[in-house]
Amino acid sequence: MSVFQNIVVLTGAGISAESGIDTFRGGGGLWEQHRVEDVATPEAFARDPDLVLRFYDERRAAIQTKAPNAAHEALARLDARWAGELLIVTQNVDDLHERAGTKRLVHMHGEQLSAWCTACDQRSRWTGSLIDRPACPACGMVGYLRPDIVWFGEMPYHMDDIYRALNRADLFVSIGTSGAVYPAAGFVREARQAGARTLELNLEPSEGSYWFAESRHGRATTLVPQWVDQMLGD
């Protein structure tokens, strides 16, 4: 039996790496092929919308060919069976957590499979491309749909819910994230201040490793199922 009740899990690109989705900063990572300023800022979208739309169109098509891995599945098992509070906060914009069956999930950096209409402010599920400027399914306006992605310089989603959960957590677990992007990189300190135990599961020590009470290093598909077994007493 676990001594913990309320858990917050933060996931990053590392949990999807073994599903074949590039991380941001690793070898061959996304940002080695594109400068972040060219594709992931509001200024880039204003300057060269075709470049930005094409970049996200390619990524949106690619993730639909990938499948959840054993780490996503283990977290879905934890979600289904954990009787205490649980919030899984993902920085990922892929949909592999939900395809594995996770319900108690928030996407703090938005979602690839969503388009946001800046004319009517509605969000629509989107699996196709945006480069041809399709009409918004909600208001019919043409030319206002953008990827529903939180770009650098924009406010992440669900921050009130996330900080509320962090302040109630007695266990905070960070999986597959480099600890380089704020505010997510600061969650470990927020949870510590609230008295939570902190655990990092990552391929290598992250930039924020120092802040964790415990770090386990290895592949997410090995470490996450092991940790979930431990939590569920399996």
For the segment 187-206, give every residue that binds ligand NAD (CB under 6 A): 202-204, 206
CA-wise closest residue to 93 among 3, 180, 24, 191: 24
The reply on whether position 17 binds ligand NAD by CB under 6 A is: yes
Choosing from 34, 97, 109, 217, the catalytic residue is 109
The reply on whether position 16 binds ligand NAD by CB under 6 A is: yes
Contact 37, 51 (CB under 8 A): no
Q: Residue-wise over 45-68: b if at least 16 C-beta within 10 A, else e?
A: beeeeeebbebbbebbeebeeeeb
For the segment 94-113, give every residue that binds ligand NAD (CB under 6 A): 94, 109
The reply on whether position 12 binds ligand NAD by CB under 6 A is: yes
Question: Total residues contacting ligand NAD (rule CB under 6 A)?
Answer: 30
Question: Roughly how many angstroms between the first and final C-alpha of the chain, as a whole number?
Answer: 10
Which of 119, 131, 181, 232 forms a contact with ligand NAD (CB under 6 A)?
181
For the segment 26-55, give every residue that binds ligand NAD (CB under 6 A): 26, 29-30
Residue 107 among the catalytic residues: no
Which residue of this chain has its Cβ atom nearest to ligand NAD in the complex?
14
The reply on whether position 92 binds ligand NAD by CB under 6 A is: yes
Least CB distance to ligand NAD at residue 98 (A): 12
Q: Determine the residue type at 217.
A: H
Give DSSP secondary structure letters for 161-202: HHHHHHHH-SEEEEES--S-STTGGGHHHHHHHTT-EEEEEE
Q: Give the pair of three-digit tokens for residue 43.
A: 């200024």
Catalytic positions: 109
Residues in touch with ligand NAD (CB under 6 A): 12-14, 16-18, 21-26, 29-30, 91-94, 109, 176-178, 180-181, 202-204, 206, 219-220
